[in-house]
Every structure is written in structure tokens, then in C-alpha cells.
Structure 1
Amino acid sequence: MQTKQADFLRELYKEWSDRMAANPNMTLADMRSLFDEWEKATLEPEDVTYKTDTIGGVNTVWAYPVGCNKSKVLLYTHGGGFAVGSSSSHRKVAGHVAKALGVSALVIDYRRSPEYPFPAQLEDAVAVYKALLQSGIKAKDISTIGDSAGGNLAVTSVLKFRELGLELPGCVIAFSPWLNMELTGSTLKTNAETDALITPEILQGMIGMFIGEDDSKTRHPLVNPLYADFKVYPPLYINAGGAEALLDDSVRLHERAKEMGVQSTLSVVDGMQHVFPFLAGRAKEADEEIKRIADWYQAL
């Protein structure tokens, strides 16, 4: 039985869904303002400071927990369908994870679609990663991490690093990653009544802004990593909520990665919504999940 505090995220998502339904002609600028309210679900982490920076030509926000190891970095790509979301909406959740792991986090404001379609987001992730390496941070001390569309980028950026011949990061962490651009996941139907935010219609609109009308791109491994080769890939941690429509994406990624020999861990928490770690500091379900990630990270 989930806690009352955990219901905050479902209620926030329902409010967004109602507002979008009431305004079908909502502008992209208004939608970006709406999704920046994501930060409401996350309580401010104690003893974490923030610093704006430009890394590799990309605007970023550092999260520095007091006493953290600054030589270890969580490279955080925010969610929002590649079109919305920002460091403002995600800095607090990144701060909570960084604090639990005892490291720093770097939330990047990658270029968003539709102004900058695929592969601009990956190009920005690569630019930041290269800049971190050039600054002296070791690849093994960098972890890519992200949620939803940012979870996709956390996974696919490593595939791109490998393609470019770069040394790979130490691990990958994906919260409720959105991966399947063909929208064939079974839980899009079976969890349609329990997911308070995600619908195929919303996803289809985001796909159109991200990759345009070329259906062949829905199977491109750097767009849809369910088609990717994971034979050389870092340890992977995936989590998802049992109530969310994109649950099948997490399950299929875990299964594909395991089949190819990746050290993959999947954590599904019953009853929870899309990207439930946003409830960090508010609900024990999120805090317990972040503790599990910290234990996994420390054991690598």
C-alpha cells in the first residue's frame, strides 16, 4: 500500500492532464512552463548547493552535496519528451541522488525539440562528456543518468560514446526511460487507467517533434535503444513505477541488456507513477528507491 505522500505525483500529473485537455491549443512555451512544475514534487535536499556553469558549450547546473566527491559526476539528462523539462525542474531530484551517492551531479540543458530535433540532444550530451574528460575527470567516475526521455538519452549517449571510440562511463541509471518510439509496449494499454500522465497521443506528439515524419527513425538504435547492441556496455540500473504506461520499456530494456551480458538491475515499485523518484524527500517510496540505487552504486 503506497503512502499518502506518494499520491502527490499522481495528483500533479492529473492536474497537468486536466489543464492540457482544457486547452488543446496550448503553446509549447506554456507547456514548458507547465512541466517546469515537476520540481514541486521534490522537496529541497538539505546540504546541497547549486552552481550554474557552461560545459562544452552547453548550459548546465551543478549540484554539490556538502562533502561530496567532486571527482565523481552524475551526468543528468532531464526528461520531458525531448521538448520540455529543464535543469530548473530536475535540479532537486538530481541533488537528492547525488547526496545519496556522495558525488556531484551535473544537469544539462540540452537543446530541445522541435527547434532542435534529433540528434541535437545527443550531440550536447557528447560535448559535455568530452569536456568532463578533458577537465581530468575519469570516465569510470562519470555515470550517465536521466528520466523518461532523459533516461533514453542516458542510455543512448553511452552507445554514441562507444561509436565515437570514447572510454565509457562507469555506469548508467535510467528512471522510467522512454525508449519505444513505435509505441508497441503492452503497458500503454494495460496501465492506461492507472497512469495519470502518459498517453499514446502525448507520446506521438513528442515523437513528431523529436524525429519528424520519418517512421524509419523509430527503429534507429540511437532513438530507440530497444534495437541497440549492448554487447559492450556499463552496468545498468533501471527503475519504473508499476502503475505507469511506459513500464514495458523498462522491462524490455532490462531483458535485452541481460541477454547481451550487461550487468542490469531492474527495480519496479508497485503502484508508483512515471519517474516516481521525483518524490524524493516527500515520500518514503522515492527515498527508499534512491537508497537502493546508492547501495548498488557503492557495490560496483
Structure 2
Amino acid sequence: MTRQQRVALDTALREHPPATPESIEEIRSGFAAFMTTMAVPGGVHREATTLGGRPALSVRPERDERPGTILYLHGGSFVFGSPETAISLTANLVVRTGVPAVSLDYRLAPGNPFPAAIEDCLAAYRELLERGTDPAATVLAGDSAGGGLAVTTCLAARAAGLPMPAGIVAFSPGLDATRTGASMRSKEGIDPFFTKDGLDGTGALYLAGQDPRQELLSPAIVGDLAGLPPMLLQAGTNELLLDDATRFADRARAAEVDVILDVVAGVPHVFQAYAGTLGEADDALDRAALFVGQRLRNR
């Protein structure tokens, strides 16, 4: 809520830049260690489960549970991350909405490149429906790569003839595997986390030589978005992926899709993870919870 908080966070992130890892295992362990520094709210119950043939984490409110389901998809450039690294974001949504969530541990590149992650997310959504979960009482949510997966899973579900969920919540979503957004250059050096070369590197592991100009890889620039559910996109002005969200919102609007583009000044990639220390993060999560509540109203 204050410029001082945003500046302090940016300074802290630049004072301790992540070390350059030498292996995929180091990338994964370093990210997992970093995400343990994020505050996890109390008032939730966690339990290991499975969904769509993959491990998953059930996150439920300890009291005042509301009807509905959040299918949460973690970030990590399709190469790292897990339901545990995303627990601060998942738990914050659950606490703020009262709606239980299932966070999916989808397969990761390079061992499982595109379209493995989307196949897993689609299988998870399909199983929810087969269990009797009402799609009109279901929201797909995710951060970074997972925010992109929330969108592309809906595109894959549409192609499979499945009903759309009630909505999509995407925090700093990755929606353009071509990396052609203007912010890829204009935010270089401003983004405290990423460089374009770094994103190109992890992106190549996921693509495994495939053409990035595909609907399920770059919906911000190609593909048909008609019929997607209402969505909330949140991004910060200090991130390379900013134009993934802004260009996708333009295309969604042109396709007559209800879309809210929520851009916050002076904050980094997936700034919502800093809830409890950054006022903008708490405010953004409150807006996301309001969106979820509106989409699931009377369910």
C-alpha cells in the first residue's frame, strides 16, 4: 500500500540475487528453499491426495467451508515448483474465500516437455467433473506457468468437449512461449527475478524443439479464445511477463470474453506471494477472493 514497502522489497530481492544453478536439481531445490520464506496463513488443513493420476495437495479451510472447488496450478517455468512451493498462494485463496482447493503436482520438463503439463491438468479437471464436481462451482487458478496452465487447460477442455469452469484466476501468467512481448526488453534489469535469456533457457526445456506459436503455448498471440470463462489476470509493472497478461487481455476482450486486467505498479513477478509483508499483495489477494466469490455466488 506504500511506495516504501515496494521499494524495500525490490531492494531486498536485488541484495540477494539467486545463485546461478548448475543442474535442474539445483534449480528445483533452490526454488523450494526460496518459497519456504513466504508466509503461509493459518486456518487451513493440508492433506496429500491424487487427482488425474498425479499427486496433489488438498487444502481446506478449518472452518466455515463454502461450496466450490479451486484447482490450483503452481508456477515454476514448467521445470520446477510443486504444490508445496505454491502453498502460501493456495492457502491465502482458501482462507480468503472459504473454498477448498486441490493443488496439482503436474509433470515437469525437461523429462516431460510440452504438452505433458497440460495433459495432466486436463486429466485433473476431467476427474473432478467425473467425481460430480459442478464446473459452475469450480475455478482454475495459478501463478506464472501455472497461471498460463489455468488458461490453456480451459482451451484443452474446450477442445475435448468439456464444460468450462466458472472462472480463471491467473497471477503473473506466462501466456507467450515466443517471448515477443515488448516488456521482455523494456523490463530487462527492472525485473529483479528474470532475464530474457533465462526465460528462453527454461522455455527451451519445455518446448523441446516444438514451435512456440501454438494455441496451447502462446494464447496471448495465437489461437481462438472464444468461449473461455470470465477471468482475472494480475501482474506487476516490474516483470518481464507483464505483456503476456496485457496482450492476452486484449485478445480475450476482442473474443467477447469477460476479463479483468489488474496491473499493480512497482511490484515483481507473482507479488501476491508476499502477503503479510507487502500491502499490495494482500490487496490483490482480496480482489482475487472477491472475484472467486462472485463467480461461485449462490453455489
Q: How high is the TM-score relative to the length of structure 1?
A: 0.92
Q: How does 1:108-257 map to 2 (within 5 A)?
A: 108-214=104-210, 217-226=211-220, 227-257=222-252
Question: How much does 1:272 deviate?
Answer: 0.3
Q: Which has the higher helix share?
A: 1
Out of 259, 265, 284, the position equivalent to 1:264 is 259
Matched, 1:15 2:10: no
2:46 alignment partner in structure 1: 50
Distance 1:56 1:4 in 2: 41
Cα separation, partners in 2 of 1:28 and 1:184, compared to 1, 3 Å: same
Cα separation, partners in 2 of 1:68 and 1:108, compared to 1, 3 Å: farther
Q: What is the SS of the residue equivalent to 1:53?
A: strand
Per-residue CA shift, 1:255-277, capped at 9, x if unaligned? Answer: 11011111100111100000001
Question: How much does 1:3 deviate?
Answer: 4.1
Question: How much does 1:12 deviate?
Answer: 4.3
1:298 alignment partner in structure 2: 293
Distance 1:171 1:13 in 2: 35
Question: How much does 1:14 deviate?
Answer: 5.9
Question: How much does 1:297 deviate?
Answer: 2.5
- Structure 2: 5+ residue runs without aligned partners? none
1:2 alignment partner in structure 2: 3
Out of 284, 293, 299, the position equivalent to 1:289 is 284
- Structure 1: 5+ residue runs without aligned partners? none
Question: How much does 1:40 deviate?
Answer: 3.4
Per-residue CA shift, 1:56-109, capped at 9, x if unaligned? Answer: 211001111122546411111111110011111111210101211220111111
1:89 alignment partner in structure 2: 85
Q: Does the 8 Å CA contact 2:6/2:267 hold for their aligned counterparts?
A: no
Distance 1:36 1:219 in 2: 31
* Amino acid of the structure 2 residue aligned with 1:234: P
Distance 1:65 1:239 in 2: 24
2:28 alignment partner in structure 1: 32
Number of aligned positions between the proteins: 293
* Amino acid of the structure 2 residue aligned with 1:2: R
Distance 1:182 1:160 in 2: 19
* Amino acid of the structure 1 residue aligned with 2:107: R
Cα separation, partners in 2 of 1:261 and 1:50, compared to 1, 3 Å: same
* Amino acid of the structure 2 residue aligned with 1:299: Q
1:101 alignment partner in structure 2: 97
Distance 1:128 1:68 in 2: 26
Q: How high is the TM-score relative to the length of structure 2?
A: 0.93
Distance 1:10 1:48 in 2: 32
Cα separation, partners in 2 of 1:233 and 1:148, compared to 1, 3 Å: same
Cα separation, partners in 2 of 1:7 and 1:140, compared to 1, 3 Å: farther
Out of 263, 267, 270, the position equivalent to 1:275 is 270
Q: Percent identity?
A: 32
Per-residue CA shift, 1:110-155, capped at 9, x if unaligned? Answer: 0000000111101111111111112221111111111111111010
Cα separation, partners in 2 of 1:38 and 1:63, compared to 1, 3 Å: farther
